[in-house]
Amino acid sequence: MMKHILTGAGLASMACFMACNEGQKNAAATTPTPDAVAANVDSTIHPAQDFFDYANGGWIKRNPIPAEYSSWGIGNLVQEELYKRLRIINEKAVENPTDATSKKIAAFWKSGMDSVKINADGIKPIEATLRAIDAVTNIQQLIQLSAKEHNRTGVMCDMYIGQDAKNSEAIIVQFSQGGLGLPNRDYYFNTDDRTTKIRQAYPAHVAKMLEFTGLDSNAAKTAAASVVQLETMLAKSSRKLEALRDPEANYHKMAVTQLNKIAGSVDWTDFIKQQGISKFADTVIVGQPEFYTTLSDALKSQPLDTWKNYLKWNLISSAAGTLSDTIANTSFAFYGKLLRGQDKQKPRWKRVLDSEEGAMGEALGQLFVKEFFNATAKKRYENLVEEIRGELKTRIEHLDWMSDSTKAKALYKLSKITKKVGYPDKWKDFSAMDIKDQSYYQNVDAARQWWLNYQIAKLGKPVDRTEWDMTPQTYNAYYNPSNNEIVLPAGIFTVPGKRDEELDDAVVYGYAGASTIGHEITHGFDDEGRQFDAAGNLKSWWTKEDEKKFNDRAAVMVQQFNGYVVVDSLRINGKATLGENIADLGGILLGWEAFKKTEQYKKNEKIAGYTPAQRYFMGYSLGWLGHTKKESLARQVLTDVHSPAKFRVNGPFSDVDAFYEVYGIKPGDGMYRADSARVHIW
């Protein structure tokens, strides 16, 4: 994934999976495990017709989606391994806390697992804030309270602290659109049956949640209707998913006094200071100014009671997971079951671990890497990064559509990409995080406050380019354009049940080299990443002619993915997913060229009945092994810049000439695209 330039670090855990593999070592020594890719094949499907179903279909048929999940795949398999290990770490910390960190781990775990106390407390943890909302008598008081509660609720808008896109050496306060209870603006306006059903159910859900705050059923229904009407106003001025991918169009640096002019209902200097930010320049970055104008107008036009109920709704919704089972289950019924298709919640212990990962996952990560990611594995993937970098260098040098001047700058940027592999060299210090013997809500809140203070402390200081925004055990990776870096946590290289040394190069070059390393490097040159220079600044470094040629070639990919129907009548949004689709294709091409130089490719000896070349493409497909419920697929199409897994295999493969050669793809096959319709960028 590409780290979105509008994303700041905080408590909210990234939607990713954690992984480990070396725990299988002893069992693997005595019990052979199935081949990493051959075991997943569905031999009833021809690879030329649907490669994803061919490569992964056997596993999918044997592994239905569990009731507590909306999808099930390789990420979940490695997650399950780690869940068990993290539970042991937490339970040992409870039995025998040996240092300050283990004491915090123990306190967090005990508070989250104490369902008797959590259920007995009910709404108690947020009662003081509810009373404060009830005490508000004018809009200015409400704005001040909203500012104080913003770190808990994200009410009204999105404010965060992060690198200046046009001056990557500076940390600055930034604002973007937000304040919606549905996943994004399209849920308020789309007319397809699935989205309409969700929108129609939404007011009743808001009403149920407001009843927990003390409103009777009739008052709650009336309040919910006004809250949804207010959110719809904000949604009208919110940009679509694809529009948010244009970094230049979403960059508006201005004095706070100018923000006060376009959104004058709020004293934005005071709004910032109410969150504990006393030291900041009088300049901010606003992503979508029109949203703030609408927000300001709504603060004037909408009744005070509507805003108070809106704040109550945001408070109860954001806190639901830390409150009683009744409240948490009501929230899950809408966001988990209706929106994602989960039939039941994960057990409490897994939910607590998910929360703990967001609160202090890096502390757990220190324990993880000591046991599950050795120096040999780290070196293997560091070397692979350099091989992939070398292949992109060669491809850039031989591009027939790019001018020499742009090539020189592209090669310079490539040479400056920093690689971070496995785990950070410097760990975060959580000693000031106030985790102790208190309620689960209070511990989660203490973690939120620590993360806010952590971000505030960055203001006015040099950017720490050694920092990681993912934990080592994360089954994911990212490219950060502001640092011009790829970050590859140890977890992303895991194949469930396999030690690293058991994996042949064909699988590794497809699974890690293509779908991860090559993918992330290519992000530096996708439709968004290419707009940042070698130092991480949003700055044009292309000639106008080269920029047009790039956009023309990218338009072919937009058209290709616009044609894929995912569920019902919903199609992939080719513009919104363009960056990820470009990165997928680039990763496959780079991984393939690097793999062709290995001894395994040259010897061309079969393993488990498959040639090295076949295993390379199967290895890439392994990275997307899994299946997803329709409800979650529909949500992904509307809210995610990543295409669904199946199309991350079949889509780019149909643009790769080597794939046609290896599998003999010909006109009329399901995977075939005419050469004129194939994407040729990097």
Q: CA 317, CA 183: separation in Å to the nearest integer?
A: 13
Q: Is residue 129 part of a domain?
A: no
pLDDT of residue 2: 56
Cα torsion at 145, 151, 154, 155 (round to 10°)? 0
CA distance readout (Å), 155 to 122, 470, 655 = 22, 25, 44
pLDDT of residue 9: 31
pLDDT of residue 368: 79
Select from 301, 317, 333 the last residue of a domain.
317
Q: Is residue 539 part of a domain?
A: yes
Select from 258, 291, 317 the last residue of a domain.
317
The CB density around residue 257, as the number of other CB atoms within 10 Å, is: 11
Question: Which residue(s) pair with 421 in the sheet?
Answer: 488
Mean pLDDT of the chain: 93
pLDDT of residue 16: 30
Each residue's pLDDT tens digit, 164-208: 999 999 999 999 999 999 999 999 999 999 999 999 999 999 999
Reported confidence tier of residue 472, pLDDT bands at 50, 70, 90? very high
pLDDT of residue 381: 94
Q: Say yes or no: 484 and 529 in one domain.
A: yes
CA distance readout (Å), 435 to 127, 359, 439, 449 = 21, 10, 10, 11
Reported confidence tier of residue 149, pLDDT bands at 50, 70, 90? very high
pLDDT of residue 497: 85
pTM, two decimals, is 0.92
Mean pLDDT, to the nearest integer, of 258-267? 97
Task: Tell me, rounded to whole angstroms, the distance of Cα 535 from its chain centroid.
Answer: 24
- Nearest Cα to Cα of residue 167 among 245, 244, 250, 251: 251
How many C-alpha atoms does 65 have within 13 Å on its Cβ side?
Answer: 19
Per-position b or e across 635-650, b if 16+ CB within 10 A of its CB: bbbbbbbbbbbbbbbb
Q: Is residue 96 part of a domain?
A: no
C-beta separation of 539 from 532 below 8 A: yes
Q: Is the pLDDT of residue 347 over 90?
A: yes
Each residue's pLDDT tens digit, 538-584: 999 999 999 999 999 999 999 999 999 999 999 999 999 999 999 99
pLDDT of residue 369: 83
Encoded amino acid at 179, one letter: G
Mean pLDDT, to the nearest integer, of 393-403? 97
pLDDT of residue 85: 84
The CA-to-CA distance between both ends of the chain, in Å, stands at 18
Q: CA 578, CA 570: separation in Å to the nearest integer?
A: 17
Q: Say yes or no: 57 and 181 in one domain.
A: no
Reported confidence tier of residue 375, pLDDT bands at 50, 70, 90? confident
Q: Say yes or no: 308 and 355 in one domain.
A: no
- Domain holding 164: CATH number? 1.10.1380.10
C-beta separation of 299 from 147 below 8 A: no
Q: How many structural domains are present in the chain?
A: 2
The more confidently predicted of residues 28 and 581 is 581
Mean pLDDT, to the nearest integer, of 27-47? 82
Please report, rounded to a whole number, the percentage of residues in the chain having pLDDT higher than 90. Answer: 89
Q: Say yes or no: 276 and 363 in one domain.
A: no
Q: Is residue 108 part of a domain?
A: no
Q: Is the pLDDT of residue 28 over 60?
A: no
Q: Say yes or no: 548 and 616 in one domain.
A: yes
Q: Is residue 215 part of a domain?
A: yes
Q: Is the pLDDT of residue 348 over 80?
A: yes
Q: Indicate the burial class of 675 (C-beta count within 10 angstroms; 0-12, 13-18, 19 or more).
A: exposed
Q: CA 586, CA 680: separation in Å to the nearest integer?
A: 10
Reported confidence tier of residue 31, pLDDT bands at 50, 70, 90? low
pLDDT of residue 10: 35
Q: Say yes or no: 303 and 358 in one domain.
A: no
Domain that holds residue 263: 140-317
C-beta separation of 573 from 241 below 8 A: yes
Question: Which residue(s) pair with 161 in the sheet?
Answer: 173
Helix, coil or strand: residue 249: coil
Q: Is residue 664 part of a domain?
A: yes
The CB density around residue 221, as the number of other CB atoms within 10 Å, is: 17
C-beta separation of 531 from 248 below 8 A: yes
Q: Say yes or no: 162 and 206 in one domain.
A: yes
Reported confidence tier of residue 372, pLDDT bands at 50, 70, 90? confident
Report the run of H or E that residue 556 belongs to, with start and end: helix 544-562
Q: Say yes or no: 57 and 164 in one domain.
A: no
Mean pLDDT, to the nearest integer, of 277-286? 89
Q: Is residue 103 part of a domain?
A: no
Mean pLDDT, to the nearest integer, of 107-120? 98
Reported confidence tier of residue 75, pLDDT bands at 50, 70, 90? very high
Q: Is residue 13 part of a domain?
A: no
Q: Say yes or no: 655 and 526 in one domain.
A: yes
pLDDT of residue 3: 45
Each residue's pLDDT tens digit, 500-528: 889 999 999 999 999 999 999 999 999 99
At 168, list the tokens. Answer: 């990557």
Each residue's pLDDT tens digit, 324-336: 999 999 999 999 9
Tell me the three-class secondary structure of 90-120, residue by residue.
Answer: HHHHHHCCCCHHHHHHHHHHHHHHCHHHHHH
Q: Is the pLDDT of residue 20 over 50?
A: no
Q: Is the pLDDT of residue 15 over 60?
A: no
- Domain holding 518: CATH number? 3.40.390.10
Reported confidence tier of residue 376, pLDDT bands at 50, 70, 90? confident
- Nearest Cα to Cα of residue 222 among 331, 137, 156, 306: 306
Q: Say yes or no: 584 and 626 in one domain.
A: yes
Select from 292, 317, 342 the last residue of a domain.
317
At 396, list the tokens. Answer: 């850039």
Q: Say yes or no: 61 and 172 in one domain.
A: no
Mean pLDDT, to the nearest integer, of 479-483? 97
Q: Say yes or no: 408 and 504 in one domain.
A: yes
